[in-house]
Chains A and B, each alone.
Chain A
């Protein structure tokens, strides 16, 4: 099973600033990495797949990078609606499909 580790657990950032979230895989997942945004009481929302491809309707301020075992989600200028929990997920080697434990992005 591939273990996904996200850091930090919580990130405090001011609106308008840049946020950088990290995700590490215990072994290479190539570019088979997705990012999701999840707000309490709502459905998770796909942001990025293939490590760097934005899903339909996702604003350009969200970008993904990385390959192999190290990945980054960057939000270039935080808007109020971006404060949420972010999950990474690998789909290179499954089952099982595995997620990181999440990064909570909170307002500073």
Chain B
């Protein structure tokens, strides 16, 4: 069974950093691109960014709202994707999800909550 589990969320002050993990199982992680999303309270889903599989160079793309502050990486040996979030702002408060990327997103985790507040 394919599973994705996000972790690492919590309460953090503006300007600080947080790293989220997406631990996966049940599929060959290295064969897939992986994406991160978020959903702020009362808002729709927002794509945060993605990382290509190593076959396609392991390169990354980001939404304009997080570019330069967030970094996505992957450890294929552990089947984990990471979202490093720096210089956090209030507007980054959201539930964060990871998903397996096949242009659409066929498997998702249940999310981890990030709250940015002083």
Cα distance A24–B106 when bound, in Å?
Answer: 22
The dominant DSSP class at the A interface is loop
Interface string of A29-64 (1 = CB under 8 A from B): 000101010100111111001000001000000000
Residue of A nearest to B6 (CB): A43
Question: Would B47 and A43 count as touching, CB distance under 8 A?
Answer: no
- Cα A41 to Cα B111 in complex, Å, equals 8
Of the residues A38, A43, A89, contact of B109 by C-beta under 8 Å: A43
Chain A CB count within 10 A is highest, among B46, B61, B63, B103, for: B103
In the complex, the answer to whether B105 meets A101 with C-beta atoms within 8 Å is: no
Task: Determine if B43 and A44 form an interchain contact, defined as CB atoms under 8 angstroms apart.
Answer: no
From A36, A44, A49, A99, B47 is in contact (CB under 8 Å) with: A99
Which residues 85-111 of B sit at the A interface, judged by CB distance below 8 A? 97, 99, 103-111
> Number of B residues contacting the other chain (C-beta, 8 Å)?
23
Residues in A with CB closer than 8 Å to B99 are: 44
Q: Is A69 an interface residue (CB 8 A)?
A: no
Residues of A in contact (CB 8 Å), total 24
Q: Chain A contacts of B35 at CB under 8 A?
A: 97
Chain B residues, Cβ within 8 Å of A32: 103
The reply to whether A44 and B97 form a contact with Cβ atoms under 8 Å apart is yes
A97→B111 contact, CB < 8 A: no
> Which residue of B45, B46, B61, B62 is within 8 Å of A44 (Cβ)?
B45
Q: What are 15 pairs between A and B in contact, CB < 8 Å? A: A32-B103, A34-B104, A49-B104, A49-B106, A87-B44, A87-B45, A89-B45, A91-B104, A94-B61, A95-B47, A96-B64, A97-B35, A97-B50, A99-B44, A99-B45
Task: Point out residues on A near B: beta carbons under 8 Å.
Answer: 32, 34, 36, 38, 41-46, 49, 55, 87, 89, 91, 94-102
